[in-house]
Amino acid sequence: MNVEVRGPSESPPVLLLHGWGRSLHDLRPLAQALTDAYWTHAVDLPGHGASPPPPEPWGVPEHAQLVHDYIRREIQSRVTVVGHSNGGRIALYMAGTAKHASAVNRLALVSPSGVEPERSWAYRTRSGLATALKAPVQALPAPLQAPAEDWLRHSLVWQWLGSDDYNAQDGVMRETFVKTVNDHLDEELERVRVPTLLFWGTEDDAVSRRQMDVMKTKIDDCGLVELEGAGHFGHLDQPDTVRAGLRHFLENS
């Protein structure tokens, strides 16, 4: 992974994970604001920024293992994880999974993914059509499946059915996107035992207030900061508020 490390190594460590389709550039201002008192590690997740894609389609468990290995090898102590969107999903999975929980001591998350959204009628229709299109391909003999799936993925109708994020990817990253966004963390949330601070923009059209309320209810020690008028990128829309809230959380939790 491409990682930017800042601050004194003897200070408490903070690991920053960006959202899907983004890079550590989004979280660099937060990292820079903390380097007077914290040892920050801002990561480009696989297939993002300057990090190469994974060798095969990955889901959340594989991303969590990679991050855990980095913490164990390079930081060698428990960390506070700051995560946005899909980075928050990975952080929540780690904190709620016995295999990785020992690496995390706090979570500070901006509009984290992980709670299944309410699906619209249009989404359910597209999903049903996609399943119907894949069925005959999956029934083909094994030698014919791969070329048939490749043709289907590049067809106009498949692109129409896919989301913008899905269509922006290709190859291993397209399948990684599918595996990642369909991983919901209902069980993991109830096992999170570390102090958790959530930031959410009231104009966020990617993560709903209902999803944030589910997280706040299921996580035992959890607070929610609403960013009035901010969207899905609250740390970019209202950086001063997020920096101040994060600093207070780090100093007092």
The CATH number assigned to the domain holding 64 equals: 3.40.50.1820
Does residue 14 contact residue 43 with C-beta atoms inside 8 Å? no
Output the pLDDT for position 123.
Answer: 46
Tell me the average pLDDT across 172-189: 90
Is 131 in the same domain as 51?
A: no
Over the stretch 110-163, which tens digit does the pLDDT of each residue have? 999 999 986 544 445 555 555 665 667 566 676 766 676 666 556 655 455 455
- pTM of the full structure: 0.82
Residue that is last in its domain, among 134, 158, 180: 180
Domain boundary among 180, 195, 218: 180
Number of domains within the chain: 2
Q: What is the mean pLDDT of residues 34-40?
A: 97
Last residue of a domain, one of 150, 180, 210: 180
Find the domain containing 148 and state its range: 121-180
What span, in angstroms and rounded, lies between the C-alpha atoms of 27 and 127? 33
Sheet holding 39-44, edge to edge: 2-6, 39-44, 13-17, 79-84, 104-110, 196-201, 222-227
pLDDT tens digits, one per residue of 233-247? 999 999 999 999 999
Same domain, 217 and 129: no
Sign of the CA dihedral with 161 first, then 164, 166, and 171 last:
positive
| CA–CA gap between residue 118 and residue 20 (Å, rounded) | 20
Position 253 scores a pLDDT of: 85
Examine the domain organization and report whether 131 and 241 are in the same domain.
no
For residues 94 and 147, membership in a common domain is answered with no
Residue-level length of the chain: 253
d(CA 234, CA 229): 9
Tokens of 217: 């209810």
CA distance 86 to 60: 9
Do 191 and 210 lie in a common domain? yes
The reply to whether 91 and 147 lie within a common domain is no
- Same domain for 67 and 21, yes or no, is yes
Is 241 buried (19+), middle (13-18) or exposed (0-12) by CB count in 10 A? middle
Q: Determine the pLDDT at residue 195.
A: 98
- The answer to whether 198 and 114 have CB atoms below 8 angstroms apart is no
